[in-house]
Every structure is written in C-alpha cells, then in structure tokens.
C-alpha cells in the first residue's frame, strides 16, 4: 500500500485538517536533509556526465557463497545492515504492506479515514485513541528477537558491524544486544517518549509509557498536560538528525551492505543503498527482489538502485527467502551456524526466564492486593 502522501488530496483533507504547529527550531534536521539533497544531486550529475570512477568487482561470484567467501577473506570490516519489518514477522509482528496479513490491511476496527492515518501526526493530535489501542497489541516486550536479529548481534561481536540502520520501531535490535551506538533507528523508537508540545518536550521512559498504555490511559504530560508520544516518526515529522549525520560518515566506509526484510519503498531510507561506494557489494535477503533501479532512471544514467539481473550486474546479490532462513544459510556458509543457533537458544531461554519472574511477581502483587481488599476492617478501639 502506498504512503499517505500518495493518497488523493480530497481523501486526506476530508477528515484531517492540519493544526497550526507551535514554533520550534528544526534547523538541524532541515540543514541535514538539505545536505542529503545536495549530495544526491552531485552524485546524479557525476553519474550522468561520466565523471565517476570505474567500479571494481569485489565478489568472485554473485551468490550467497560469493558473499560468504568475501566475509571470510578478512577484507570485510565495515558491514552496514539495512533492515525493515520483514526481519520481525517471524517474531509475530506483522509487516505493513502484505495484502492480507500486513498491518495496514487489518485496521478496519479503528474506523480510520485511511490506513496510514494511524501514523499521521495531525490525525494523532486530534484522535490519539486508535494509535494507543494499536500500541497495546504491538508493544515492545511482548516479542522475542529473531534469528536475523541475533545474526546482526554476531556481526557486532565479531567486530565487523559498523552500524544497523533500521526502519523498525519494535526495539528488537536492542533486545538482541545491539546498543544505541550500533543503531540508527531511522523511523524512531518506542524506547523513549516525549511531550508533543514544543514548549515542553519533557522526556518519558519506556516503562512510564508502558504503564500508561496498558492502563488504558491516554498518556498526558504531567508538566503541561499535552499528549505524550513515543519517539517514532509519524508521517509529517522529520527523521532524527542523527540519521542524516551518521549516514554521511558510515556509507562511504561500508565494504558490505546487507539489506533485509524491506521493500525499499519509503524515502529517504530506500535511497541509502545508493550511498555506498561503487565497489561495495550489496546483498538483499528478502521474500522478493526490491530496490531495483528504475528503467527510466537507468536510461539516463541516473540509476544507483540494485541490479541483480542485467548484463552489467557486478556487485548485487539477491537471496530470495525469509530473513531467518537467509541468515541461517549465510551463517552456515561462514561456519557460524551452530554458534548462531546456540546464541538464539540461550537468549530466548533468558527472556523466558525473565518473563516468568515478572509474571510471578505480578501475580504475587495481585494476590496480595486482592487479599487486602477482602479482609474485614479492623474494629475501632473503644475510647
């Protein structure tokens, strides 16, 4: 399904009339975005005029085996992973755009004017209830990281992960062991929340937001009484400034780009595949090919998308499978499969143990509260 920006204008304006925004200083985000646009134009004209240097073929063959041999060669030290909702579907979290099972296909119960409205900032400010009802269903802490998440943790542990750029807001990368410096959460995160008032912007923790959401309260700021929203990026909001600043440092240094579980349809995230050097191999693990160069752009020499099938293909590899199966297959070729399976087993057992302790504690507290409520009142002492 297309993004809300692609909906007919009349459909968008029928239900949602944007409110005037409070004044704020977004100069850092605007400047960063402007730099990205300028870089894109430089690359565009450089490619069109034939000013860019000739590309070198790094992989000995365009297969998963070729990628594995490259990693094992020791030449690969700065891997960047770009991931989307497809890496979390095996954890039980739906993706957004699958026709029958995707999130957008199952929002009828919220009576939205259009599916994307649930993540549209102007709609949220007027009608926050649908978003927080959905948040109860998808809230972080109810799901375990997948094989794919732990594969990225292994890349980190082996010292070859430069960064993970994720579109996901489920925080499973953090649960799997990636830390703040390892991550660029391009579309934000539930990990922190802020008051929506630009005059306030008080920060709230994951636990604070969880308590509000599961008590059916609409989270309100205890300082100014405005709405409090998790720090996920809604339609109509800027991406985090760190997204723009980090990508300018990371992608020129990348020596292997691994793209997993994303349709590469949402900008500016999708354009990141074009920011690695022309010599950098790119591996896609997905249920279908995505991110391919548009024919018209390629005709004019502007294409920097994926090229899996043409006679000019020299660095892009598509492994069509689930993300978990693809990571297991790659781990097997690398000689890491047993290590990966053991890591998943150990970490899932740790999560199960922690969940059991928390449930036991909650049950104990509920029992004590019920017992206290049912106890007869003590008789008053006679004067």
CA separation for the pair 215, 1 (Å, rounded): 32
CATH number of the domain encompassing residue 72: 3.40.50.1220
86 is in an annotated binding site: yes
Residues 201 and 331 in one domain: no
287 marked as part of a ligand binding site: yes
* 164 annotated to bind ligand: no
Rounded to an integer, what distance in angstroms lies between the CA atom of residue 202 and that of residue 193? 8
- Per-residue pLDDT tens over the stretch 97-133: 555 555 655 566 677 888 778 888 889 999 998 888 8
Q: How far is CA 25 from the centre of its chain?
A: 25
**Burial environment of residue 106 by CB neighbours within 10 A (0 to 12, 13 to 18, 19 or more):** middle
Does the annotation list 169 as a binding residue? Answer: yes
Q: What is the pLDDT of residue 105?
A: 54
Q: What is the pLDDT of residues 195-230, one digit of tens each?
A: 999 899 999 998 899 888 888 789 999 999 999 999
What end-to-end distance do the CA atoms of the chain give, in Å?
A: 75
Verify that 294 and 337 share a domain, yes or no: yes
The reply to whether 118 and 179 lie within a common domain is no
Is 195 known as a binding-site position?
Answer: yes
Q: Determine if residue 96 is labeled as part of a ligand binding site.
A: yes
pLDDT tens, position by position, 227-282:
999 998 988 788 888 999 999 999 999 999 999 999 998 888 999 999 999 999 99
Q: If you average pLDDT over every residue of the chain, what do you get?
A: 81
Segments forming the whole domain that contains residue 274: 58-91+146-187+241-352
Task: Name the pLDDT band for 33 (thresholds 50, 70, 90).
Answer: low
- Does residue 271 form part of some domain? yes
> CA 92, CA 127: separation in Å to the nearest integer?
27
Cα 13 versus chain centre, distance: 28
Answer whether residue 324 is part of any domain.
Answer: yes
Residue 275 falls inside a structural domain? yes
Tokens of 272: 């990141």
Higher-scoring residue by pLDDT: 2, 269: 269
CA distance linking residue 377 with residue 164, whole number of Å: 58
85 belongs to an annotated ligand binding site: yes
For residue 268, is the peptide bond before it cis, meaning its omega torsion is within 30 degrees of 0? yes
Residue scoring higher pLDDT (216 or 27): 216
Look up the pTM and report it. Answer: 0.76
39 within some domain: no
Concerning whether 187 is annotated as a catalytic residue, the answer is yes
> If pLDDT is split at 50, 70 and 90, which confidence band does 67 have?
very high
Q: Are residues 105 and 126 in the same domain?
A: yes
Looking only at Cα atoms, what is the longest distance across the chain? 100
- How far apart, in whole angstroms, are the C-alpha atoms of residue 293 and residue 370? 63
Residues 164 and 292 in one domain: yes
pLDDT attached to residue 254: 98
Per annotation, catalytic residue among 187, 194, 319, 348: 187
What CATH number is given to the structural domain containing 210? 3.30.1600.10
Count of domains for the chain: 2
């Amino acid at each position: 399904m297309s993004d809300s920006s692609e909906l007919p204008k009349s459909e968008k304006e029928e239900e949602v009339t944007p409110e005037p925004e409070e004044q704020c200083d977004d100069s850092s985000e605007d400047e960063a975005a402007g730099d990205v646009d300028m870089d894109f134009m430089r690359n565009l004209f450089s490619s069109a005029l034939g000013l860019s240097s000739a590309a070198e073929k790094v992989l000995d063959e365009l297969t998963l085996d070729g990628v594995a041999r490259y990693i094992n060669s020791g030449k690969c030290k700065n891997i960047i992973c770009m991931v989307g909702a497809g890496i979390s579907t095996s954890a039980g979290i739906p993706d957004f755009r699958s026709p029958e099972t995707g999130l957008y296909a199952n929002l009828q119960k919220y009576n939205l004017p259009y599916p994307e409205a649930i993540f549209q900032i102007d709609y949220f400010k007027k009608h926050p209830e649908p978003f927080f009802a959905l948040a109860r269903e998808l809230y972080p802490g109810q799901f375990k990281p997948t094989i794919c998440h732990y594969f990225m943790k292994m890349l980190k542990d082996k010292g070859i992960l430069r960064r993970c750029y994720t579109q996901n807001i489920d925080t499973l990368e953090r649960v799997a062991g990636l830390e703040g410096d390892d991550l660029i959460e391009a579309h934000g995160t539930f990990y922190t929340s802020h008051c929506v008032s630009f005059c306030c912007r008080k920060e709230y923790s994951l636990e604070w937001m969880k308590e509000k959401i599961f008590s059916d309260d609409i989270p309100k700021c205890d300082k100014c009484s405005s709405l409090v929203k998790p720090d996920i990026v809604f339609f109509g909001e800027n991406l985090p400034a760190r997204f723009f600043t980090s990508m300018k440092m990371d992608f020129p240094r990348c020596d292997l780009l691994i793209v997993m579980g994303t349709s590469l349809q949402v900008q500016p995230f999708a354009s990141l595949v074009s920011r690695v050097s022309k010599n950098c191999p790119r591996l896609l693990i997905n249920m279908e090919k995505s991110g391919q160069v548009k024919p018209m752009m390629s005709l004019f020499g502007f294409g920097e998308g994926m090229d899996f099938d043409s006679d000019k293909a020299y660095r892009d590899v598509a492994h069509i499978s689930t993300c978990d199966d693809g990571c297991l297959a790659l781990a097997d070729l690398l000689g890491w499969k047993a290590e990966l399976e053991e890591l998943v087993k150990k970490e899932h057992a740790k999560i199960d143990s922690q969940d059991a302790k928390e449930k036991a504690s909650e049950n104990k507290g509920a029992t004590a509260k019920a017992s206290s409520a049912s106890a007869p009142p003590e008789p008053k002492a006679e004067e």
